[in-house]
Amino acid sequence: MTTLIRMRQVVQDNWRLLDPAADGALPPVPREDGDVIVPLALWRREREKLVARNGRLGVRLDAHEGPEEIADDIARFEVIAVHFPKFTDGRGYSTARLLRDRYGYKGELRAIGDVQRDQLLYLSRCGFDAFALKEGRDAEAALGAFSDFSEAYQSSVERPLPLFRRRFTNAPEGMEWS
Amino acid sequence: MYVYDHIDQRLVDERVAQYRDQTRRFLAGELTDEDFKPLRLQNGLYLQRHAPMLRVAIPYGELASRQLRALAHIARTYDRGYGHFSTRQNLQFNWPRLEDVPDILAELATVQMHAIQTSGNCIRNITTDHYAGTAPDEIVDPRVYCEILREWSTFHPEFAYLPRKFKIAVNGARADRAATRFHDIGLHAVRAADGSVGFRVLVGGGMGRTPLLAPVIREFLPWQHFLTYMEAILRVYNRYGRRDNLYRARIKILVKERTPERFREEVEAEWEHMKDGPATLTREEVERVAQRFTRPDYEPLSAGDTGFERRRQTHRAFARWVERNVAAHRVPGYAAVTLTLKTTGVPPGDATAEQMDAVADLADRYGFGELRVTHEQNLLLPDVRRSDLFALWERARELGFATPNLGLLTNIISCPGGDFCSLANAKSIPVAEAIQRRFDDLDYLHDIGELDLNISGCMNSCGHHHAGHIGILGVDKQGAEFYQISIGGNQGNDASIGKVIGPSVAQDEVPGVIEKLIETYIALRDSEHERFVDTVRRVGLEPFKEAVYDDAHQDAAGRTRQLAVA
């Protein structure tokens, strides 16, 4: 059981996350039933076995693994976990946007690895809805990050219309400033 | 001036609150140095050699007099009474306390200012031509598009953790005065045959240790697609830019390694998906932004002014200042005036709180309360009545802002260098000062003519040495400070990167080397109309190398100078 922020609430999570070993060696397909998130390489190698298991399936993408690599299989996954080796490695933000905007992924999109409070808002704007915070970080306290900003200029997964289009839909006469 | 609406203001206020909490958590030990670092950098705060350095954004270089007074107030209250205008059209405070930064940001927010994304691996302050809105050769007012980009890039969720910093410049006039070829993205306004506005898109220019001129990625991008195309470029960079090596992480390396052709194909393929999507700009939005700019209430004046012409004919020093520091204006009877911050003995770009207040007063008295910060580290009054020029000149002279050296050798661009910056290999400010002292004869300076001399204290090139007609780079040679000299760089439409003339030299030798370069130029130029950089282009590096490194030439060169002065 791990603590997770999901849909902006702290929850306990039953999914088992299988990480590749430090040397890249892949873990075996678990014999026991249950929900499991597997490395992309394991999915590629053991697809049949993984599909035949009892339990839901998720896939783990590393920072360099783009959504193109699972494009044809997206419907098979209930969780896609994107790994951040360091929070300053921003590739996962684009991965998330592409999964949501281009590949139409509707399942859980989970940020894992070096995930911290001060990145949660941008991550959620890019389409992440679940966050496994880095070890030792206070999930309850981190929830405040979602309300750091009340508005955003850009188009995002959460709100595809950028502010400039909403200004005019909200105020058909035009300007909404005072 | 762009005036915030309540949403712009709210976002900046929320940013202050966010950063205040981040600072609190850092001081309470809840955030490690490493975790706090990218957060403070995205709020402009560096930890420097002596103290923190706070970089305040001056979006596209535009500043209101009340904002400049607020900066003066901050300099007095939280710093040592001065600030440094940088080549990125920003202002840097060199001595704030880390604990005070949230309060400084709160003060800035009261005058619609901030330090958002002035550092860090994100989209930085957008820069433009400082003559925007006043230049006779303007195609489009670039500030409107700069502001659209400012809003788009502010807190962009996808591009906050790029491989490296990202700088965009927009130029709206025929002449490129925004150094677009030296930026990560350069946007050059163009008008199509049918009169519609678009942009030539250049990607992958830059300075640093791999200086490159940006290739054109798209000849004409219709204005509607301005933002979606930026998103496509940034996404390709965010995904594929190198993250394994700090020195190979800028987009210029990606463009170079993939070739501009392949990079273009990738961007265009990405853009196909976004094109005409929700981020497509609307006519209403461009108009909304344009209308949020205050516009000077110009009086109908005639272009000629007898008083001004008479003064110019009778007053040589005034005439020289007008010739150098006053630029033509698209509105008859007005001029754009540069107040130079390049007095010998003062670090280039430095201004005291008193000077800031004084300039703010000049902007109110002789303009419409508006100023510009130029990338040459000067301040500009964009809308001065020609009939006021003489009075302004007299006042600016008293204040020390009227050195008539704009475009001349002593208008040196320089980074803060090793005196302040922890990245620098060598000092730059004492070098600038030594050169300014060597060339203190105004007649000689004017005789030399147009010459950009730029100094960087290290390969990060904050002093734009690659783009200088003469560039000076501080290097570390077994722990000692040395200087590498290059010539032939240029900004503008015919941009080029300077070439190194030979082995680096010691600090006290630099003014002598510059002198030899100038003497060689004077001896070789085909007329006084041929600029230094044009002579270098015509004759090549050899004669300059010989003059500097061949001792036998020393005496001859000395005589040339005597002749030139005589």
ipTM value for the complex: 0.95
d(C-alpha A16, C-alpha B36), whole Å: 31
Question: Token pair 């302040």 is at which residue?
Answer: B420
pLDDT score for B551: 61
Tokens standing for A49? Answer: 């076995």
Token pair belonging to A16: 């088992």
Share above pLDDT 90 across residues of chain B, in percent, rounded to a whole number? 83
Task: Evaluate if residue B394 carries a pLDDT over 80.
Answer: yes
Class of domain B127-290: alpha beta
Between CA B357 and CA B362 the distance in angstroms is 9
Q: Chain A: give the shortest CA distance to residue B23, in Å.
A: 12
* Mean pLDDT calculated for residue range B311-323: 94
Section B27-51 average pLDDT: 90
Q: Among B40-54, B391-405, B456-470, whose mean pLDDT is lowest?
A: B40-54
Q: Of the candidates B152, B157, B284, which has its C-beta nearest A122's C-beta?
A: B157
Look at residue B308 in the predicted model and tell me its pLDDT.
Answer: 87
The confidence band for B565, taking pLDDT boundaries of 50, 70 and 90, is very low
H/E element holding B499? Answer: strand B499-500
Q: Does A87 touch chain B (CB under 8 A)?
A: yes
**Domain B413-565 = CATH 3.30.413.10:** yes
pLDDT category at B203 given cuts 50, 70, 90 is: very high
Instruction: Give the end-to-end CA distance of chain A in Å, rounded to a whole number.
Output: 51
* Dihedral angle sign, alpha carbons of residues B309, B311, B315, B319: negative
pLDDT on residue B68: 98
Q: What is the model's pLDDT at position B50?
A: 65
C-alpha pair distances (Å), B113 with each of B8, B73, B383? 10, 14, 22
| pLDDT surpasses 60 at B319 | yes
For chain A, give the percent of residues with pLDDT over 90: 88
Identify the band that residue B284 occupies on the pLDDT scale cut at 50, 70 and 90: very high
Q: How many CB atoms lie within 10 A of CB B443?
A: 9
Q: Where are the beta strands (DSSP E) in B422-489?
A: 453-456, 470-477, 480-487
**A169: confidence class by pLDDT, cuts 50, 70, 90:** low
The sign of the dihedral angle between the CA atoms of B298, B68, B492, B528 is: positive
pTM equals 0.92
Contact B116, B57 (CB under 8 A): yes
How high is the pLDDT of residue A141?
Answer: 95
CB proximity B279 to A under 8 Å:
yes
Answer whether residue B476 shows pLDDT above 50: yes
Nearest to B416 by CA among B437, B405, B430, B400: B430
Range B101-130 average pLDDT: 97
Mark yes or no for CB contact B288/A122 under 8 Å: no
Q: How many helices (H) and strands (E) does chain B have?
A: 19, 21
Instruction: Using the predicted structure, report yes or no on whether residue B15 has a pLDDT greater than 50.
Output: yes
Cα nearest neighbour of B23 on chain A: A118
Element (H, E) at B153: helix B142-153
Facing B278 at nearest CB: one of A91, A151, A160: A160
- E strands, B271-357, are 326-328, 334-339, 350-352
Strands B326-328 and B216-222: unpaired
Q: Which of residues 15-34 of B touch A (CB under 8 A)?
A: 15, 17-18, 22
Which pLDDT band, with edges at 50, 70 and 90, does B49 fall under? low
* Structure confidence at residue A170 (pLDDT): 56
- pLDDT of B558 strictly over 60: no
> Does the structure show a pLDDT above 50 at B40?
yes
Interface test with B, best of A64, A97, A149, A153 (most B CBs within 10 A): A153
Picking from B93, B96, B86, B94, the residue whose alpha carbon sits closest to that of residue B61 is B86
Looking at residue B303, its pLDDT comes to 73
CA distance B522 to B528: 8
Is there a common fold for B306-399 and B413-565?
no
A window 90-149, beta carbon within 8 A of B: 90-91, 93-95, 97, 101-102, 116, 118-119, 121-123, 125-126, 148-149
The residue that leads in pLDDT, A129 or B209, is A129
Q: CATH 3.20.20.70 residue ranges in chain A?
A: 2-147
Strands B185-191 and B168-171: parallel
Strand-pairing partners, residue A153, are: none
Mean pLDDT of B182-192: 96
Q: Calculate the average pLDDT of chain B.
A: 93
**pLDDT score for B52:** 87
Say whether pLDDT at A152 is over 90.
yes
Nearest to A157 by CA among A123, A132, A118, A114: A123
Mean pLDDT of B513-540: 95
Q: Name the residue facing B284 among A118, A148, A168 (closest C-beta).
A: A168
Pick the CATH number of A2-147 from 3.40.50.1370, 3.40.50.300, 3.20.20.70, 3.40.50.11540: 3.20.20.70
Give residue limits of the domains in chain B: 6-109, 127-290, 306-399, 413-565
CA B416 to each of CA B392, B428, B503: distance values in angstroms, whole numbers, following the listed order: 29, 7, 24
At the topology level, CATH places domain B306-399 in: Sulfite Reductase Hemoprotein; domain 2 (3.90.480)
Q: What is the pLDDT of residue B76?
A: 97
Q: Give the C-alpha separation, B505 to B453, whole Å.
A: 17
Position B563 pLDDT exceeds 70? no
> Could you tell me which residues come within 8 angstroms of residue B300 by beta carbon, excluding any fewer than 6 positions away?
B333
CATH class of residue range B6-109: alpha beta
pLDDT over 50 at B553, yes or no = no
Please tell me the distance from the alpha carbon of residue B131 to that of residue B326, in angstroms, as a whole number.
11
Residue B191: what pLDDT? 94
Residue A178: band (very low, low, confident or very high) from pLDDT cuts 50, 70, 90? very low
